[in-house]
Structure 1
Amino acid sequence: MSASQVLLDLTAGSVALTAAICDIESVSGNEEALANAIMDALSTYSHLELTRAGNTIVARTHFGLPQRVIIAGHLDTVPLNDNLPTHWEQDSLGDDWLWGRGTVDMKAGVAVQLTLAVELTAPAFDITWIWYDLEEVDAERNGLRRLAHTHPEFFVGDFAILGEPSNSTVEGGCNGTIRVDIRARGLRAHSARAWAGENAIHKLASALAILSAYEPRQVEVEGLLYREGLNAVGVSGGVATNVIPDEATLHVNYRFAPSRSAAEAIVHMREIFAGFDVVVIDQAEGARPGLTSPIALNFVNAVGAAPTPKYGWTDVARFSAMGIPAVNFGPGDATLAHADDERVAVRQITECENALRTWLLGE
């Protein structure tokens, strides 16, 4: 049976469903088979109003309840490296693990969401479920971004949960990120007569010294301590091994706490690298924790563990920008995301499902 013909059993339980959807390969740009399978499986549930936009699927309830929550997850994964189909292993402590691409980022979270979407016909909130494509690639292609432009009505809600891996605990908000190029210019010359030129690569030495000496901040935002990071992530320059280079570029990534805007982070970069040509390549706002509203506090209590900050950037920032408090909550250790040995603990999938079900039922 081909992937396009796979029949998903959304009542099989989130653990079995995780394996089933992981085994439908959906590297970014190739989500159609998985989206087809999910759409087909959801179509028999009358309490869900379905909308499909490309390879993004929206399922909404309309029970007339006073509050609406948005629960989202992305369908795509990073490329494979001989890590599908999935397989099961048991560790030395007797814990079961599901190995394979997407198990952590983030099909275990999607499986939990799908399981509850079809099960919960009398929730305490109306729910908008969103499963979207193209999260792991350029932000301009992101399915959630596209959906917000074409269907803004789907982004009306009191609270949002994104199923990014968080060890089945609540991770509030996210750091922002910018990428800048620090560019130096010199003068070409033959390397045998280096004194006749100016070496642009050498001019980057002071910028590297700035990075080496820089002490990233730890910033408390609404009770969560975010750690920042400023790092060189690449360097380029030179035209030939016997030519003094006249141009060189240091690629720098700054992860900043959500107490700063992207504009403020860019000003900070220009201050730090004063005297250099600083070119902004990419920027994304962070998101504040989103834990101060009653509905968010109620969710944290249902999960039963102290929330922590999300250091990486996630799509919670999109919800935050629209005025919707949002958190990350899903099974899996984020340090295993994208790894060749990507794997998720079965225990975490079950914990995530149980906590989310309890909260959505208002118990």
Structure 2
Amino acid sequence: MTPDQAVKDLAATEIQPRARVLAMPEYHPPLGHRDRLRLDFNENTLACSPAVKTALENISATDLTRYPEREPVEALVANYLDVAPEQVLLTNGVDEAIHVLCQAFLDAGDELLLPVPTYTMYEIYASSTDATLRKVQAADDFRFPFESLLGAINARTRIIAIANPNSPTGSVATREQILAIAQAAPGAIILVDEAYFHFYGQSVIDLVGKVPNLVVARTFSKAYGLAGLRLGLLAGPESLLRWVRRVLSPYSVNSVALAALTAALKDQSYIDWYVAQVKQARAEFLSGLTGLGLDYWPTEANFVLVNIGATHREFVAAMREQGILVRDRSADPGCLGCVRITIGTPEQMRTALTAVESFLKSNPAGASK
């Protein structure tokens, strides 16, 4: 065989991934062209702390030549959370936290229990393993399906993922419910994802190390406004996190992100101010939706799920034309006709409410069920 023929034969060969990767769902976030009022991804709608900006400006060219060291910053985070340093693991966003947890603990024959609708990436990362994903559908009121979830626990249950507050619904599981689930599934990791904790104010992170199968995730993408730097964490017993560290890259959290996080943690007053702004705006916006006759679900997060109905696509397009981005969640289980709207500052949400009202006036059949 000539070299040219060998090259042609190789070019015709297609290498396939594992069967699970072929079968797993894909996630394509609708990013790009987001130079509008960003009420679509539950981000901080203003900016990060000014202290973060100063810290970034002080990073030298020499600083960037060194590999990142996460341990000193993990110690700072641990002190902030009032847990031991070995009980904290910083990750490249909560996405990586979910990914490595699945890689460390899900094997063939295992099950991940997932209340739905919820954050898409639990399903994505679980589907990349040889475990089985088992969904537990919430009722029409989107309350946390506590009884159904308890009934789904079995000997194969290895991870139970609970977003608290949940996205896209804004619903919550109570502390008592989480403890009951942990007791009912002692052989499973109970992952409580508290990405939206600041807007809810209640946490189970104080139970880390006391409940041996509890792991809590947090993000610095939402209230802290560091989504572009990709920072998250897992807090859990050292006996569990040691295995997660084994499958985690030692350099997945970069030096720039670590410097920003150090500054952000020292400026809690900024976080308190921003969260207060969002809570005020949430109350005003929900009251406005009620006044417009729109149905929505109670929320403890920095977003609200609104039932727009048959005109949901037109609604999203109309809001974009008015310079406001919102997220169509109709493809989520049980969410047909639903649109999720991030809550920003009071001024931003007054602008958004005016746009919603304009849509309804120009679409008399809008929000039809």
What TM-score, normalized to structure 2? Answer: 0.22
Structure richer in helix, relative to its length? 2
Structure richer in strand, relative to its length? 1
What TM-score, normalized to structure 1? Answer: 0.22
- Bigger Cα Rg: 1
